[in-house]
Structure 1
Amino acid sequence: MATAASRPTPAHELSGTAPAISAPRNDDVNFQGLPIPRGPVTAHLSFYKAPEDGSKPHNWVEPQQGRPQRNFGESWHDVVLDDLRGQEHKFSLDNNAFETIQNVPSEEYEFKDDEQIKRVYYPEVEKLLLETVPGANRVLLFDHTIRRSHPGAAREPVVRVHIDQTPSSAAQRVRFHLPEEADQLLQGRYRIINVWRPLNGPVMAHPLAVADSATVQDEDLIPVEHRYPDRTGETAGVRYNPSQKWYYFSGMKNEDRLLLKCFDSDETVGQWGRVPHSAFVHPRTPEGAIGRESIEVRALVFG
């Protein structure tokens, strides 16, 4: 775990740039000896398409046989994704709703036991957020998801552009997890931030694409009911708009972190308070590359 003396430095606080994408480097191949796809790429992304019957869009968290998981469709578009490598310092949570952090150590290696993840990895994530998110003074980690891109995996990468929370579901999260303090906490600044990292990096198959939130229009975000067995939350579908600017962080390693801000109650940065994201198929993924494994931890960040 990082100590206060070895505070991880968010990329936007760094000066200068990394070597050019085309420059030779030792990490341009993975442990299999396969070339890691880097640089700008045009990829096929799945955007929101409204239900044909005009009904309210919804998605079931636990699909059942004979019932479609969702009632809305997909609209596929070719999108240019720029590579964040070499320009990480240009982006921050407040300005773009995503941020990269590198060289973050961890004492958790297996990621097979949920209780061990909560005992070992959760405190590391909480510390990282308190150290690197401006103004943060309290963090509540409320869940995590492990995704593995191989047949039979419990959760696979989501190949659909979306945002995990909407303003109403973010407030609902505060009330759900901290009911006795909710009225007071909702009067101050609160954010929902996902901390995303690979488990078997460098990532070659199904990397994560993110949109610069400052280029995303509110009218292109569609609330979608997220139906659990015992309650209903809300996520956002995202309509395609050519004005959106998209990126990915090539060859993410286990020591890399990608912070994704799904909501921010601060109206001065409200326009940039949500980041559309999606896994995607990189057309230059070499044959034989191992499937991506990753974990995302979701946090309520106060202050």
Structure 2
Amino acid sequence: MPNVVASIEYLQNLPLYKEEKPYWCMLTPREGFDPDEERLDNLEFEIHDGLTITDIRNSQANALIIDNCGFQVLSHTSKVMSFNTKDDVDKYKAETMEMLTQELDAVFVKTYELRLRKNTPIDRPVMNIVDPLLFEGPARGAHNDVTYDSGPVIINRYLTGEEKVDYLKPGYRFRIVNTWRSLVPDLEDRPLALCDARTVTAEDFVAADRIIPDRVGEVYYLLHNSNHRWYYLSKQSPDEPFLFIMYDTAPGENARFCPHVSFQNPVASPKALFRQSVETRSIVVTRL
């Protein structure tokens, strides 16, 4: 497949964000709340057209590895391809931890979160964000799910006291990584685009709060920079999951973040199946 010329959604570089931190709320709506009248965020995005998104199948895929560009394509067949019960979620998390242990030569892995997404209209009056079987729509705006500040918070939140004693000491490297897998064959609808970390500067990131009932998290949204280089995998199969970095404690030139976002694929077949995907977030510990 050829590279595509498509559009990427970025955060607008508004003067507002110099005075007010970007935020997005997912809270229980109060009685009388009307989402058409009151906003739960101050996020304003802009579309940048005419961007080349390079097909990984046309590139030197072996050179695209998580430490260099921030992402890579794995070869892995999952035994869990439908999510109907919590047991399915637990099995997929366990499978992911085993896969990451092997791929990254890890001494410890904890998959702490799983997200299901689909690109179809979702008609529901209330969304339960703690439901492990919740399907969400594709996330908006190029972003990285972890920041320099939120990375340590996540690690502290999900590690037990014993795990902290074992690993929070010199000689260990902590990474927070995402795995992203298509749940349909030959994915064409709303594929995921990944930005080469080597083309992103610190000034391109804007920290934003994600507010949910039990805590406030922090993510990075991405401002446009003409130097950014984007990649995707044409007709991505379920056996070709992405692995990409969201946070890394290791010093050096290795990638620490990998901005990503789905995009409207201009070469998708009119008969393409609607995108469905599963992603995980995991803490990975390796020896330095």
TM-score range, shorter chain: 0.7 to 0.9
Q: Which residue of 2 aligns with 1:279?
A: 262
Within 5 Å, which residues of 2 pair with 1:1-12? none
Tell me the residue number matched to 1:250. Answer: 234
Relative to the length of structure 1, the TM-score reads 0.81
8 Å contact 2:54–2:230 — kept in the other structure? yes
1:213 and 2:176 aligned: no
Of the three residues 190, 197, 214, the one matched with 1:230 is 214
What is the match of residue 166 of structure 1? Answer: 147
Q: How does 1:123-134 map to 2 (within 5 A)?
A: 123-133=94-104
Alpha-carbon deviation of 1:110? 1.8
Gaps of 5+ in 1: 1-37
Q: Which amino acid aligns with 1:267?
A: P
* Corresponding position of 2:127: none
- Counterpart of 2:55 in structure 1 is 83
Alignment CA distance shift 1:77-1:112 (3 Å): same
2:23 to 58, 62, 74: 58
CA contact (8 A) 2:89 2:114 kept: no
1:72 is matched with 43
**TM-score (structure 2 length as normaliser):** 0.85
Match in the other structure for 1:99:
72
Q: Secondary structure at the match of 1:210?
A: strand
**Aligned residue in 1 for 2:128:** none
Query: In structure 2, what is the Cα distance between the partners aligned to 1:171 and 1:63?
Result: 27
Match of 2:159 among 178, 193, 196: 178
1:198 — aligned with what?
Answer: 182
Superposed displacement of residue 58, structure 1: 0.7
Q: Percent same amino acid at aligned positions? A: 26
Residue type at the aligned position of 1:147: R
One-letter amino acid matched to 1:57: P
Give the root-mean-square deviation of aligned CA atoms: 1.8
Q: Aligned partners of 2:250, 2:101: CA distance in 1, in Å?
A: 18
In structure 1, the partner of 2:12 is 49
Match of 1:8 in 2: none
CA shift, 1:62, in A, is 4.3
Instruction: Return the alpha-carbon distance in structure 2 between the equivalents of residues 57 and 301 of structure 1.
Output: 29
Q: Which amino acid aligns with 1:146?
A: L
Match of 2:274 in 1: 291
What amino acid is aligned across from residue 114 of structure 1 in structure 2? K
Match of 1:239 among 192, 198, 223: 223
2 CA distance for matches of 1:71 and 1:51? 11
Matched letter for residue 93 of structure 2 = Y
SS at match of 2:99: helix
- Distance between the aligned counterparts of 2:62 and 2:79, measured in 1? 27
AA partner of residue 70 (structure 1)? D
Q: Is the 8 A contact 1:201 1:292 kept in 2?
A: no
Counterpart amino acid of residue 68 in structure 1: R
Name the amino acid aligned to 2:145. D
Q: How many angstroms does 1:182 deviate by?
A: 3.7
Between the aligned partners of 1:93 and 1:277, the Cα distance in structure 2 is: 14
* Corresponding residue number in structure 2 for 1:147: 117
Deviation per CA, 1:179-232: give whole Å up to 9, x if none. Answer: 524476444310011111011121010000000101110111111111111111
Please tell me the residue identity of whatever aligns with 1:89. N
Q: Distance in 2 between matches of 1:59 and 1:183?
A: 34
- Go from structure 1 to structure 2 and tell me whether the alpha carbon gap of 1:63 and 1:236 turns closer, same or farther (over 3 Å shift): farther
**Conservation of the 8 A alpha-carbon contact between 2:82 and 2:88:** no
Q: Counterpart amino acid of 2:100?
A: L
Hey, what does 1:21 align to over in structure 2? Answer: none
Name the amino acid aligned to 1:176: R
Structure 2 counterpart of 1:112, from 81, 84, 97? 84
Task: Describe the SS at the equivalent of 1:160.
Answer: coil
SS of the aligned residue for 1:299 comes to strand
Deviation of 1:117 after TM superposition, in Å, equals 2.0
C-alpha displacement at 1:50, in angstroms? 4.1
